[in-house]
Amino acid sequence: MGTIKKDLEELTSLGKSGASFEGLQVFPSHSFPGSLVVTLHCTEFTCRCPMTHQPDWANIEIVYKPDKYIVETKSVKLYFEQFRDVGMFHEHLAQHVCDDFVAVLSPISLSVTVRFKTRGGISVDATAEYYT
């Protein structure tokens, strides 16, 4: 089954330029629970070091098996934009994003990997996982 009009009823950011973050938004999955794997790639994530307030850059990969809902990608873009001036340790970010996605999706499984760019000769990868 393709996308139907009812799938769009709860989406308030999709297709609107200048939309502000209203929370992660979801639409119904038409797949049998666990039969679909969704992977999101964010290659331009920025936040700040909580100590020095210097900018940090990362790639974020979110992989999940939806149960009833799929996250709408424009709301993900707006969600990530809210971190630009937030000071957060890399490992805390992975868990924070995982918790937020689990709260709205109730997925079968979900993995969030943050891969921060090298600073001072050290790069950090952190993964937070959720399984039902």
Is the separation of the CB atoms in 90 and 114 below 8 Å? Answer: yes
Is the separation of the CB atoms in 104 and 64 below 8 Å? Answer: no
* Burial (0-12, 13-18, 19+ Cβ within 10 Å), 64: buried
Q: Would you call 125 a catalytic residue per the annotation?
A: no
pTM to 2 decimal places:
0.87
Q: Which amino acid is at 73?
A: T
Is the separation of the CB atoms in 1 and 31 below 8 Å? Answer: no
**According to the model, what pLDDT value does residue 14 have?**
57
C-alpha 77/C-alpha 115 separation (Å) is: 17
CATH (residue range 24-131): 3.30.1130.10
Q: Would you call 56 a catalytic residue per the annotation?
A: yes
Per-residue pLDDT of the chain (132 residues; tens, 9 = 90+): 676 767 777 766 655 556 666 899 999 999 999 999 999 999 999 999 999 999 999 999 999 999 999 999 999 999 999 999 999 999 999 999 999 999 999 999 999 999 999 988 999 999 999 998
**According to the model, what pLDDT value does residue 16 have?**
58
Of the candidates 7, 42, 47, 56, the residue annotated as catalytic is 56
Of the candidates 49, 99, 100, 125, the residue annotated as catalytic is 49
Helix (H) or strand (E) holding 44: strand 38-48
